[in-house]
Chains A and B, each alone.
Chain A
Amino acid sequence: MSALPSAIEPARLATLDRGYREAVRARRSRAVLIGLAIVLCTMLSAISAEVEPATLFANIGKFTSYIGRIFVLENGQPVWTRPAEWFWGLEDWLSLLLETVLIAYVGTALGTAGAVVLAFFAAANLSPHPVLRAVTRRWLEFCRTFPELVFALIFVIAFGLGPLPGVLAIAIHSMGALGKLFSEVAENIDLKPVEGVAATGASWPVVVRFGALPQVLPNFVSYTLLRFEINVRGASVMGFVGAGGIGQDLIEAIRKFYYADVSAILVLIIVTVALIDFITERVRHRLGDSGAPA
């Protein structure tokens, strides 16, 4: 083993140095080009979509004044001076909030059940057939393409007002979103156990059940809890289109200018979401530490 050369010919050094600088320069000019392209695209789309910063600045005062207004009672006092009056409808709102959480819960449960099954059909490494995989992936894409509110609107027309359309809308959107995430988790597993199970002559569902599911379960649970938290937020606006939950009181308060009610309901929603975030976070960390049994 010879020692590292401490000196280098000046000519050779110059060549090497030039090569390095050129490579760096090429990289830098590409980065600048990409940056310029992004700025240009943003400006073009803003102009064609008529996003006018002037409107934002001209009306920012209205926005802040609305925010200020919703924290004032009818008698002109700030809301926190009379909490009882601020939360006059607490009992109704809490029961609507409970309904909201239940819509999210049932919707998440149904959506997750569908996603778990479809994810294995959609995963490149486990799918029983390429055609089945393509069909499943398109279906999952369809499910998550439209916002929940769009589905809810359609289901309200089909099934009438109430929580059912909200549950269905959330279930379908969750199935699409989770199915995609789950299939990506499944694509990253260690295939040795899968091979081990398949080599015994087990059928495809059994291979997935024993070879793949135990590996993906902790991640599935973690994503599902995250989705539940997202769905509670989603469910709180389901009422906007008549699909149940606290949303119907919120939209009514906004439309009829019951300013203090708007802030009261928003505060309740924020507290609920924070609480659920806190709980699911705890559960997810627990799972991470100990691992779920399969």
Chain B
Amino acid sequence: MLRLQQVTKRFGDKKAVDGVSAVIPKGQLVGVIGRSGAGKSTLLRMVNRLETVTEGRITCGQINVGTLSGRHLRAWRARCAMIFQQFNLVGRLDVLTNVLIGRSFGVSTGRSLLKLWTDADRTRALAALDRFDMAHLAAQRADTLSGGQQQRVAIARALVQEPDIILADEPVASLDPRNTRLVMDALQAINRELGITVVCNLHSLDLAREYCDRLLGLAAGRLVLDEAPNALSNARARELYGLEAADVVGEPETLPVAAYAMPLGSLSVAPSGVPAQ
């Protein structure tokens, strides 16, 4: 169970994430939604500790994520795998090596440096690739693959970490519709079949509604919405996304002029959406 308590991130005097609290039970597929710059990425990156936590606590069981360092931090990162919008593979290395990098926490530094992976790790990596129909590309350089293929390699890399949580930071934002489906299906399958908690930043509300068990909405760094996807009305969604609503809500009708005229700072969201904490 992942617990966020008043988590805040400041860059200079700007608050990217502002007092976010939430409890994410094991095995949930959570979608984090909100417009660009709402703090979705920063929130996820704090959980994996690619960003430090300015204020508040992130805990998982007995672990206080914010204060981890050294080997403990690396152990935590191995437990909560990260998937990125730009895939973040090593383009010049082959696909299998990219997946095996996911095993590097459990392998001694010396063996990793020399690529002396065990047969068991190699088997895990090939199995993970095969799960997404990618095993035949194992020997190819990662930068020769299409975006959708690269993202599936990245998911395989996350999977061989044998994580408890997978954090996916806009995993489909760089992909075409077909690959978007493939990647979201893969994430859903991992969640359903392996019971791995998935926290997924999504820009598209339609996708979030379709795949997620629960939606967290961020606006200007604050948590303004926490509910089941089918409970979220289009009107609320439009408020959440503001000027970007037309892109993500997917309704043909034009928005009322008022939505455009609304100042960005004074976005009003019904208080019922905020969890009582």
Contact = CB atoms under 8 A, between A and B. Distances in A.
A162 interface: no
B6 interface: no
Interface in B49-107: 50, 73-79, 81-82, 84, 86-93, 97, 101-102, 104-105
Given A206-B104, A206-B113, A201 B90 contact: no
B114 to A, nearest CB: 9
Contact of B88 (A192, A206, A214, A294): A192
B92 A198 contact: no
Contact of B93 (A199, A201, A206, A210): A210
Nearest to A214: B92
A198 B34 CA distance: 27
A211 B102 CA distance: 12
A193 B104 contact: no
Contacts of A217: 92
A201 B77 contact: yes
B92 A294 contact: yes
Contacts of B75: 201
Given A201-B161, A206-B112, A206-B113, A196 B104 contact: no
B157 interface: yes
A202 B92 contact: no
B76 A201 contact: yes
Contacts of B104: 197, 200-203, 206, 210
Contacts of B113: 205-206, 209
Interface residues of A, number: 22
Given A203-B74, A214-B93, A196 B109 contact: no
A202 B84 contact: no
Contacts of A294: 92-93
A203 B74 CA distance: 7
Contact of A201 (B78, B87, B88, B154): B78
Given A206-B109, A209-B113, A199 B90 contact: no
A206 B77 CA distance: 14
B48 interface: yes
* The 5 residue pairs across chains A and B that have the minimum distance between CB atoms: A196-B88, A201-B78, A201-B105, A201-B77, A214-B92
Interface of A: 192-193, 195-203, 205-206, 209-211, 214-215, 217, 291, 293-294
Given A200-B104, A205-B113, 14 more contacts: A192-B84, A195-B50, A195-B88, A196-B88, A196-B157, A200-B158, A201-B161, A202-B74, A202-B105, A202-B112, A203-B74, A206-B109, A214-B90, A214-B92
